[in-house]
Amino acid sequence: MAGHYPNPSSQNEAQLGLVVANLFREGGWKVLDQPREAGAAPDLIASGHGKKLVVEIKRASEGRKDRVIPLLSQAALEASYYSQNVAGRPIPVAIVGANHMPESLAEEAKRFLQERAPDVAVGLVDLEGFCLFAGHGLESLNSLRRSKKFIRSQKLRAGPPQLFSDLNQWMLKVLLAPRMPESLLSAPRGHYQGASQLAAAANVSVMSAFRFVEELSKEGFLESGEGSMRLVRLEELLNRWQAASQRRVLEVPTRWILHKGEKALRSALRSYQSRERMSARDPNGLVLSPRPRICLGLFEAAEVLGVGFVRGVPPYIYVERPNAAVLQELGLSENAEGKEADVYVRVPGNRESVFRGLVEKNGVPVCDILQVWLDVGQHAARGKEQADIIWRKNLAPAFERLER
Domain boundaries along the sequence of the chain: 10-153, 162-244, 250-396
Sheet holding 364-366, edge to edge: 332-333, 250-256, 343-347, 316-319, 294-297, 364-366, 359-361
Number of other residues whose CB lies within 10 A of the CB of residue 47: 15
Q: For residue 190, is pLDDT > 60?
A: yes
Render pLDDT for 286-337 as a digit per residue (tens, 0 to 9): 434 467 899 999 999 999 999 988 888 899 999 988 778 888 899 998 877 6
Nearest to 295, CA basis, from 377, 231, 350, 230: 350
Tell me the whole-structure pTM to 2 decimals. 0.59
What topology is assigned to 10-153 in CATH? Trna Endonuclease; Chain: A, domain 1 (3.40.1350)
Q: For residue 160, is pLDDT > 50?
A: no
Distance CA 36, CA 134 (A): 26
Distance CA 289, CA 306 (A): 34
SS3 state at 124: strand
Please provide the CATH number assigned to the domain covering 162-244: 1.10.10.10
- Average the pLDDT over 185-193 and give the result: 93
pLDDT band at 390 (very low <50, low <70, confident <90, very high): very high
- Average the pLDDT over 6-25 and give the result: 64
